[in-house]
Structure 1
Amino acid sequence: MPTIYKICSASAWREAERRGAYTGSADDLRDGFIHFSTAAQVAETARKHFFGQTGLFLIAIDAEALGEALRWEPSRGGALFPHLYGELDLGAVTAVHDLRARSDGGHDVPELAS
Structure 2
Amino acid sequence: MTPIYKILSRAEWEAALQAGRFTGSAVDLADGYIHFSTAAQAPETAARHFAGQDGLVVLEVEADDLGEALRWEPSRGGDLFPHLYADLEAKAVRRVLAAPLGADGVPQLDLST
Question: What TM-score, normalized to structure 1?
Answer: 0.95
Residue 4 of structure 1 contacts residue 39 of structure 1 at CA under 8 Å; is this kept in 2? yes
Residue 39 of structure 1 contacts residue 112 of structure 1 at CA under 8 Å; is this kept in 2? no
CA distance in 2, matches of 1:77, 1:112: 25
Q: Does 1:23 align with 2:23?
A: yes
* Deviations, residues 62-106 of structure 1 (Å, cap 9, x unaligned): 111100000000000000000000100112111000001023211
1:52-67 to 2 correspondences below 5 Å: 52-67=52-67
The one-letter amino acid paired with 1:54 is: D
Q: Does 1:112 align with 2:80?
A: no
Structure 1 stretches of 4+ moved >4 Å:
none
Q: Does 1:38 align with 2:38?
A: yes
Q: Give the length in aligned residue pairs.
A: 113
Q: Does 1:51 align with 2:51?
A: yes
1:58-97 to 2 correspondences below 5 Å: 58-97=58-97
Gapped runs of 5+ residues in structure 2? none
- Specify the SS of the correspondent of 1:28: helix
Deviation at 1:107, TM superposition (A): 2.1
- Specify the SS of the correspondent of 1:37: coil
Give the equivalent residue in structure 2 for 1:11: 11
CA distance in 2, matches of 1:12, 1:43: 20
The one-letter amino acid paired with 2:72 is: W
Structure number with the higher strand fraction is 1
